[in-house]
Amino acid sequence: MPDSSHRIGSLYSHNHHHHHNHQYQSHFFILNKLLRNPFLSINFINFINFINFINFINFINFINFINFINFINFINFINFINFINFINFINSINPLILSH
């Protein structure tokens, strides 16, 4: 029983000489050629990392959006407190208006 690397090599050479092989073997041959090319595999890993980086930026933007919503809610809360204070202010003036 040959090890997996020898089996990959024999599949590689077998596909190289017989192009009428099964479909899965030709797919494996293409994948093997891609993985044997160090530049392609490194670029593919960088592409995956770039996608992960974009997802991380989107996650940060989502957190910022949540913080923005919380900030709007905080402003609304301050406006609500100001509104209550305004009502209290009117109520405190009311006796003075009535007394005149």
Q: What pTM was computed for the model?
A: 0.40
pLDDT of residue 11 exceeding 60, the answer is no
- Contact predicate 2/10, CB 8 Å: yes
Contact yes or no for 35/49 (Cβ under 8 A)? no
Q: Grade residue 91 by pLDDT with cuts at 50, 70 and 90.
A: confident
* Neighbouring C-alpha atoms within 13 Å toward the C-beta of 60: 6
What one-character-per-residue DSSP string does the chain give? Answer: ---HHHHHHHHHHHHHH-TT--HHHHHHHHHHHHHH-HHHHHHHHHHHHHHHHHHHHHHHHHHHHHHHHHHHHHHHHHHHHHHHHHHHHHHHHHHHHHH-
Which residue ranges make up each domain of the chain?
A: 8-57
Question: Is pLDDT above 60 for 54?
Answer: yes
- The pLDDT score that the predictor gives to residue 74 is 93
CA distance linking residue 38 with residue 45, whole number of Å: 11
- As given in the structure block, the two tokens for residue 97 are 């208006």
